[in-house]
Amino acid sequence: MEKQHWVIDYETLLNCTILVAEHYRDGIVHEFVIHKERNDILPLVDFLYQCKTNKEFHISFNGLTFDSQISEFIIRNSDTLVNMDAELLANEIYGVAQDIIDRQNNDEFPEFSEKDLSIPQIDVFKLNHWDNPAKRSSLKWIQYTMDWHNIQDMPIHHGQYIRTLDEIETILSYCRNDVKSTKNIYRLCRNHIALRRDLTKTYDIRLMSASEPKISKELFLHFLSKQLGEDKYELRQLRTFRSTIVVKDIILPYVKFKTKTFNDLLDMFNSVVIDDPLVLKGAFKYSFDYKGAKTDFGLGGVHGANKRGIYESTEDKIVMTSDVVSFYPNLIIRNKWSPAHLPSAQFNELYEWFFKERRKISKKDVRNYIYKIILNSTYGLSNDKNSFLYDPELTLRVTINGQLSLMMLYEMITEGIPGSKPIMQNTDGLETLIPREYEEKYIQICQEWEELTDLELEHDTYNKIYFADVNNYIALYNYKEVDKTTFEEIKKSNPHYLFKQEGEKFYYAATKCKGRFEFTDLALHKNKSFLIIPKAIYNFFIHGVSPEETLYENHNIFDYCAGFKATSGWVLEKLIYSQGEITKEKLQKVIRYYVSNDGHKIVKRNTMDGREVQLEADRRAMLTEYNVHVEKPWDNYDINLGYYLDNIYKEINNIEYNSNQISLF
């Protein structure tokens, strides 16, 4: 018989506890209330014991550090709890919940670790690494990014005394919405969950709620433990902490330059001494302008860019793009680096094995993805003091030598090819506009660099780059010929690409969108505000479709919406004008809205100093809050199309303005 796994959510209030559990596939729902008007403690305990006995998973958002802790408390204390007065029981659970929240706020581990929980867990919050500062996301924010029909904050404060069944129904309704949205996240993540299930079964490691860095850490530890014959627990305790790092001592001997600009860069790096390796971010900054491109350096990477505009391949010039294959992993492998506390030979043998095995395996094979995770995350874990791979010197060996190695290639190309024009440099590759007659010379220079560095480059050519800056651009590749089957597969999965057929020959031209021009396959934690704008810009540049036509044809209200989340110390307020007076209506922390002809101003207000900042800088913009989706005739949404068109054309003109000035000479 198939196990009955459940998507669950607790709401714990001063004198009321609620649990809603919905079957992960079917529509079966269980609802439990503990309150003086309704006490479901006995069926709740029965449900939890059923899940425990049958090893049925609880699927939740942040459940490992909250919901599972409540369940575990109830299971471990059930004999006492079932005999308590309902109001005292709810208050007891409320106290436990507040202690759990205090632990979270103080960055303390939960009372019950995952391995000690009675009910197995799948936490979509942890799985997606939304607890990471760079991806930090609440359930309400994910409701916004996945176009959920109802973005709703808890309507009743947890400290409020609940008196009526109507209030209980209000909380239940809120809880149902959270459960259904969590269930939708689960569905969106089902391939990732299947991968974690297979890994858990194969390696007997608890990975059902693991983020990709944790998968990398646990699997690398698993293999390294076997290779070294060392206990996992002992390996987990290892770290290399450093009091100082002298950068000149870790720069590779092959790093050499010919021009003053780049030698000054090398001298600057050679002068750096890191006195606090625990805090690398922002410890070093340096910039220079070279052949029209401003390039910025730090301890973490390099970013450089020329002027905005359209860079185009023509009969006499070509846009070349070159990326280093698995740049950071290969810097470690080729130079035999490792965290200082681990045996270098065994570490590198294992790390290189993952790289070689991945190259043998089809990208459709799940192992390819697993090895990719391990290769990419292992470097990052060298700068995580909670990881057994921690050694900040290894981090800097990779990032600093990576920057300098890439700059060697940058100098070799731009100095070696007359009339070459750098477009951008970004961590692991660069784009350059060169005379077409020097294409062979370009490849020759790249081969020389590969021999010097023992690294490998991959090359391609762009038809055009619509370039705002290094983090925001649209790139159109040149057409590639493929067989009919591949052609149809690509067309189905990427309908926004360019396609053409000439007789029995089939061609496609891929595109790459970065930054504010991205509009497909956006990660759920990313801000997708006003998606209609990048869609219209893309259609204009790639397909030659006017912005007006894109807006005329696109009737997806979510594409016109933006999201905003108020951070700590700020509240959102709607300004309502009536008979010459302004009243303020407090809004929830996360809102969805669009720009309309007849709406309101929305501001964020600082609760400490009273500062107010209007959402949408254009003071003419009126906003309609749209937290609850309602289907209606398109014109009834009253969208201010002029606002969107102004912003679309602003981006287009920003790029096109300089395009006629771009040349090789």
Tell me the HSE value of 266 on the side-chain side, using a 13 A CA sphere: 22
pLDDT digits (tens, 9 = 90+) for 460-481: 999 999 999 999 999 999 999 9
**Cα(330)–Cα(187) distance, rounded to whole angstroms?**
35
Percent of the chain clearing pLDDT 90 (strictly above): 89
Largest CA-CA distance found in the chain, in angstroms, rounded: 87
Question: Average pLDDT of 234-257?
Answer: 95
Which residues, including other chains, have CB under 8 Å from residue 405's CB and lie 6 or more apart?
A: 252, 255, 324, 331, 453, 455
**Cα(584)–Cα(573) distance, rounded to whole angstroms?**
6
Is residue 450 helix, strand or coil?
A: helix
Q: How confident is the model at residue 365 (pLDDT cuts 50, 70, 90)?
A: confident
Which residues, including other chains, have CB under 8 Å from residue 41's CB and lie 6 or more apart?
A: 34, 81, 82, 84, 86, 89
**Amino acid code (one letter) for 624:** T
Question: Average pLDDT of 569-586?
Answer: 91
Whether the pLDDT of residue 415 is over 90: the answer is yes
Calculate the dihedral angle through the C-alpha atoms of 59, 62, 67, 69, rounding to the nearest 10 degrees. 120
- Where along the chain do its domains lie? 6-209, 245-288+317-418+444-452, 532-656
Backbone angles phi, psi at 202, to 5 degrees: -70, -45
**Cα(112)–Cα(116) distance, rounded to whole angstroms?**
6
Question: Average pLDDT of 60-78?
Answer: 98
Whether the pLDDT of residue 658 is over 70: the answer is no
Whether the pLDDT of residue 664 is over 50: the answer is no
Which residues, including other chains, have CB under 8 Å from residue 513's CB and lie 6 or more apart?
A: 473, 474, 475, 519, 520, 534, 538
| pLDDT of res. 2 | 60
Question: Average pLDDT of 454-460?
Answer: 97
- Give the residue with greater pLDDT, 664 vs 203: 203
**Cα(49)–Cα(33) distance, rounded to whole angstroms?**
17
Which residues, including other chains, have CB under 8 Å from residue 573's CB and lie 6 or more apart?
A: 584, 585, 586, 587, 602, 603, 604, 605
Q: How confident is the model at residue 578 (pLDDT cuts 50, 70, 90)?
A: confident
Tokens 């919405």 sit at which residue? 177
Say if residues 49 and 75 touch (Cβ distance below 8 Å): yes
pLDDT digits (tens, 9 = 90+) for 318-361: 999 999 999 999 999 999 999 999 999 999 999 999 999 999 98
Average pLDDT, the chain: 94
Q: How confident is the model at residue 1 (pLDDT cuts 50, 70, 90)?
A: very low
Say if residues 498 and 476 touch (Cβ distance below 8 Å): yes
What would the DSSP string read from start to end of 575-605? EEEETTEEEEEE--SEEEEEEESS-BEEEEE
How large is the angle between the packed helices 366-381 and 327-334, nearest 10 degrees? 70
pLDDT digits (tens, 9 = 90+) for 180-217: 999 999 999 999 999 999 999 999 999 999 999 999 99
| pLDDT of res. 139 | 98
**Amino acid code (one letter) for 320:** M
Q: How confident is the model at residue 300 (pLDDT cuts 50, 70, 90)?
A: confident
CB-neighbour burial class of residue 559 (10 A; exposed 0-12, middle 13-18, buried 19+): buried
For the 6-209 domain, the top CATH level (class) is alpha beta
Least confident of 81-95, 403-417, 519-533, 577-591: 577-591
Percent of the chain clearing pLDDT 70 (strictly above): 98
pLDDT digits (tens, 9 = 90+) for 605-650: 999 999 999 999 887 789 999 999 999 999 999 999 999 999 999 9
Whether the pLDDT of residue 665 is over 70: the answer is no
What six digits make up the tokens of 89? 């029981």
Q: How confident is the model at residue 168 (pLDDT cuts 50, 70, 90)?
A: very high
Least confident of 113-127, 430-444, 579-593: 579-593
